[in-house]
Amino acid sequence: MAENLKVQSLGHQEMGSVQIEHPFIETVRMFATNYAAVAGLVVLVIITAVSFVGPLLYTVDPWEMVWAPFSPPGAKGFLLGTDYLGRDLMAQIIHGGRATIAVGCAAALLSVLIGITFGALSGFYRGWVEEILMRITEFFQVLPTLLFSMVLVALFGASLQMITFAIGIVSWTGVARVTRAEFLKIRELEFVTASRSGGAKDPSLIFRVILPNALPPIVVQAALLVGFAILFEAGLSFLGLSDPNVMSWGAMMGNNRPFILQHAFMIMYPGLAIFITVLSISLVGDGLNDALNPKLRKR
């Protein structure tokens, strides 16, 4: 009898330990089982480290003319060769990653802030507030994003800040719709009603009660927006709408665009860097989606 009671108590303890597993720990565990997402995260960390720490180790100035123009990869010790002005492509790749990643993260942050604001207010208040905010969202959704951002950059200057703003202002609509859908679902749940009955004000309900429970899909959307912003910046730079005083992967492609047929390697290296970075971000986003979505955890 004593042994049976001991076994039952151990069983209850194990069940209790499974039941009280912290959601964050469970999310990390589920993410770690997605090998593609983990590989993407490792590659992304390496790229970020090289971009921000690499200039301290590889001290060649990306703007300095170090050898003859159009030198092929490996010539005179330059691993990736030189561009049309004789500047080291390896130094440009290392230094350019910093601006490219910074623009992607800053533009994604701006998009998330705008999207959460519009989505949270429209989903929480409903009525005329929802009508006005959703009509504004639809207006930005049907705008030709590339053309609109090109107009903004052309009118107000091709500075890094303006490029970041132009990307962020045209890519927030998806976050707004996801946030609104989550708020519409969560605002009717019992714990929100209990908080409202307890005297919680609207700002507290929005930011302290509903928003933390609506974050998982927003986090996934934000991760994917970083990759979208990097591609967007590369597209603007390829068209010549980049800050001439800042080295980025997109600017490298734009500067070397006239020589794409004769010396394709000058376009290939920054394009490959962008491809690997965006692919890594997409893999991490998919991993977060699987880890944060309870319906996908059993796949």
Query: How far is Cα 281 from Cα 68, in angstroms, rounded to an integer?
Result: 36
Could you tell me the end-to-end alpha-carbon distance of the chain, in angstroms, rounded to an integer?
Answer: 41
> Tens-of-pLDDT digits for all 299 residues of the chain?
444 444 444 444 444 444 455 667 888 888 888 899 999 999 999 999 999 999 888 888 999 988 888 888 888 888 898 998 899 999 999 999 999 999 999 999 999 999 999 999 999 998 898 899 999 999 998 888 888 898 898 888 888 899 999 999 999 999 999 999 999 999 888 888 888 888 888 888 888 889 888 888 898 889 889 999 999 998 888 888 888 888 899 989 988 888 888 888 999 999 999 999 999 999 998 888 888 775 555 54
Rounded to 10 degrees, the C-alpha dihedral 84/88/91/96 comes to: 0
Asked whether the beta carbons of 99 and 237 are under 8 A apart, the reply is no
List the alpha helices (DSSP H) in the chain. 2-19, 23-32, 35-57, 89-125, 127-142, 145-156, 160-170, 173-186, 190-197, 202-204, 211-238, 249-255, 265-292
pTM of the predicted protein model: 0.85
Closest CA to 284 of 200, 221, 238: 221
| Burial class (CB within 10 angstroms; exposed 0-12, middle 13-18, buried 19+) of 50 | middle
Closest CA to 199 of 189, 209, 211: 209
Q: What is the DSSP string of 125-176?
A: H-HHHHHHHHHHHHHHHHS-HHHHHHHHHHHH---HHHHHHHHHHHS-HHHH
